[in-house]
Amino acid sequence: MPSTVKLAAYLFTRLRQLNISSVHGVPGDYNLVLLDYVAPAGLHWVGNTNELNAGYAADGYARINGVGALVTTFGVGELSAINAVAGAYAERAAVVHVVGTPELAAQDEGRLIHHTFNDGNFRRFAQMHAHVTVAQASLRDPEASPEMIDDVLSQCLLHSRPVYIEVPMDLVEANVSAARLQHPITVPEALPDPHWEDALTALLDRIYSAKQPLILVDGETRALGIVDAVQALSRLTNWPTYTTVFGKGLLDETAPNFHGIYKGSYAPAAAQDYFKSADLVLVFGPHFSSTNSYSGTAIPAASAAVLVTDSTLTTPNQTFANLPARFLLTHLLQTLDAARVPPAAFTPPPLPPPPDTPAPNDLIMHSVFWPRVAAAQLLQAGEVLLAETGTAAHGARDLALPRGARAFFPATWLSIGYMLPAAQGAALAVRERSERSGQKGAAPPKAVLFIGDGSVQMTVQELSTIIREGLDVLVILLNNAGYTIERVIHGLRAGYNDVGAWEYGLAGRFLGAGAGFAVKVQTWAELEDALSDERVLRGRGLRVVEVLMGREDVPEGVLKVLLEKEKERVGAEAEVKHSAATGATYHARRKREIGYGLSFSTDSLYSNVKRKLH
């Protein structure tokens, strides 16, 4: 290795060493030269259509790959992406945000250049990013830069949260020492508290003495780097294991002691009974936001909860700090005496009875849609399920995953539009992973995205990147002509909850895939056809299944309760309209409202599905 390298080469080599294979972003005047160093470092450049989407994609990539990277341009680019960076911060995706900035002299002299407020202040955007990143480096000096880069990257890994690196144009090609590149960047191993064995003993005592134990896996388990250990513990104890919505997809869902998402006050009675009277609930990576905890009702009682966070173990009567989760789990598994682990007497609640099979011409309701989708078993090992905030995420949370599949569900940030670019990033990451593992023959793993029309509209152009990158993504688009989750929260019939009527089936053609594959379904028979269509099940590239659903139809659970409340609030008149909404009258009205007119039946894109109604 040469003794010096260009600064940009240093930075991208580091990213490559962190197992990043692709970098997401958008070019701009202040990062063009920087981008010349992406490919030579062995990285693939994914040019997204805009920076918010690039940020979302980098986040999706990071959640699969461990780390992801985003390159934007000063001011306009970085601020466009900041909401995505904030989401990565909130839900702990390790995204390295690299910003190409103006040359140092321009900054120091406060020159009035573009992408500023024409006032000579160049520090605002970095100050804004300090709110949404765990570490920042404003590179100014080639000598100091390698260490600064390394420090920031190691913070990124340590916290599994975004960091921010400013690279002034005139530093891109500065020579820096290559010496540090010999040593990989590692997460600083925190020294555990000298009394850590007390903590371990306390934990073991709780485990050995548990009478009614349960394991609850939350989403930060991934950020803590203890997924495998927790899986091992679940297997070893054979204790009933639940996840939160955020934790879904981290553990093997086919294990006999895995019971899905614990839904708090919406869980079946048998599950609630067990959970509430448990004397030990081992929670890994807790992230008890109201959204992720069914408004707190899925949080275990303090008298039973044992929480494992980044560096703290909390038991009902003690808190042990300075105890890194990974260290604790390693020692726990080494020490645990399987023979002393008490069994759990848990009888899983019976599965809900399958809904009656609808008639072929029936419209598609959530109540029958999700069980039918579950039966279709759309996912394979190594693939990713993504369900966007909205009715989609509520319905999809009951889909069981094959072993080794992953899932993205909204936890706390809940920025709609996130899931589509995240699907691009995630699909790329699983494809790269499968390529690395050398499974040549098998079809590359795909992503399956469930998403509402309102959310699709936010970031739709990223379908273009999915197409350009040749990624295998199946989009199941729930078209209910607007923001139905908002309708049930407030404004059931308010115009502000409507969105424009689009011809979603044209997405692939418009955005570059040529004819692409798209199908629109509105009846049970059409759904049946689509879900047994080979192109849906095993096709390649981008595929879109548009499902027409009722404006006021939502899955069972929280949303149904909200719907009933909101119906009551808006009064009886609404009630009448809604009852009509379940029959043929509604269907005709809906067709009119959401604008599917005659053009529908003449569009050859949909000709593969016979339409029975009209």
Ligand X SMILES: Cc1ncc(C[n+]2csc(CCOP(=O)(O)OP(=O)(O)O)c2C)c(N)n1
Binding-site positions for Mg(2+): 453, 480, 482
Stretch of 157-165, 230-238, 359-367, 386-394 lying at the interface with ligand X (CB under 6 A) = 386-394
Question: Nearest-CA neighbor of 498 among 508, 512, 486, 516?
Answer: 486
What's the min distance (Å) between Cβ of 389 and ligand X? Answer: 5
What's the min distance (Å) between Cβ of 27 and ligand X? Answer: 5
Q: What is the 3-state secondary structure (H, E, C) of 518-556?
A: EEEECEHHHHHHHHCCHHHHHCCCEEEEEEECCCCCCCC
Q: Read off the DSSP letter of residue 482.
A: B
Stretch of 60-68, 175-183, 507-515, 577-585 lying at the interface with a copy of itself (CB under 8 A) = 507-515
Q: Does the protein bind a copy of itself through residue 495 (CB under 8 A)? A: yes
With the CA atoms of 143, 145, 151 and 153 taken in that order, what torsion angle do they form, in degrees rounded to the nearest 10?
-150
Annotated binding site: 453, 480, 482
For residue 3 the two structure tokens come to 């003794």
Question: Among 55, 60, 225, 390, which residue interacts with ligand X (rule: CB under 6 A)?
Answer: 390
Q: Which does 104 bind (CB under 5 to 8 A by kind): a copy of itself, ligand X, none?
A: none
Separation of alpha carbons 433 and 26, rounded Å? 24
Q: Does the protein bind a copy of itself through residue 483 (CB under 8 A)? A: yes
Tell me how far apart the 2 most distant CA atoms of the chain are, in Å: 78
Q: Does the protein bind a copy of itself through residue 300 (CB under 8 A)? A: no
Give the orientation angle of helix 558-570 with respect to helix 572-580, to 10 degrees.
120
For 60, residues 6+ apart whose C-beta sits below 8 A from its C-beta are: 68, 93, 386, 408, 421, 422, 423, 424, 425, 426, 429
Q: Does the protein bind a copy of itself through residue 83 (CB under 8 A)? A: yes
Separation of alpha carbons 495 and 574, rounded Å? 14
What's the min distance (Å) between Cβ of 321 and a copy of itself? Answer: 18
Separation of alpha carbons 402 and 445, rounded Å? 13
Question: Among 491, 528, 560, 589, which residue interacts with a copy of itself (rule: CB under 8 A)?
Answer: 491
For CA atoms 90, 94, 100, 102, give the dihedral sign: positive
What's the min distance (Å) between Cβ of 199 and ligand X? Answer: 39
Q: Which does 124 bind (CB under 5 to 8 A by kind): a copy of itself, ligand X, none?
A: a copy of itself
Q: Does the protein bind ligand X through residue 26 (CB under 6 A)? A: yes
Find tokens 């005139």 and name the residue: 170
Q: How many residues bind a copy of itself (CB under 8 A)?
A: 84
Question: Among 16, 140, 433, 468, which residue interacts with a copy of itself (rule: CB under 8 A)?
Answer: 468
Nearer of residues 23 and 379 to a copy of itself, judged by Cβ: 23
Question: Among 255, 489, 574, 613, which residue interacts with a copy of itself (rule: CB under 8 A)?
Answer: 489
Q: Does the protein bind ligand X through residue 581 (CB under 6 A)? A: no
Residue ranges in 448-467 that form contacts with a copy of itself under rule CB under 8 A: 457-461, 464-465, 467
Strands 175-177 and 163-168: unpaired
What's the min distance (Å) between Cβ of 291 and ligand X? Answer: 10
Phi/psi-derived region of residue 218, left when phi > 0, alpha when psi is between -120 and 50, beta in every other case: beta
Nearer of residues 287 and 406 to a copy of itself, judged by Cβ: 287
Residue ranges in 37-96 that form contacts with ligand X under rule CB under 6 A: 51, 73, 76-77, 80
Query: Contact residues for ligand X (CB under 6 A)?
Result: 26-29, 51, 73, 76-77, 80, 388-392, 414-417, 452-455, 478, 480, 483-486
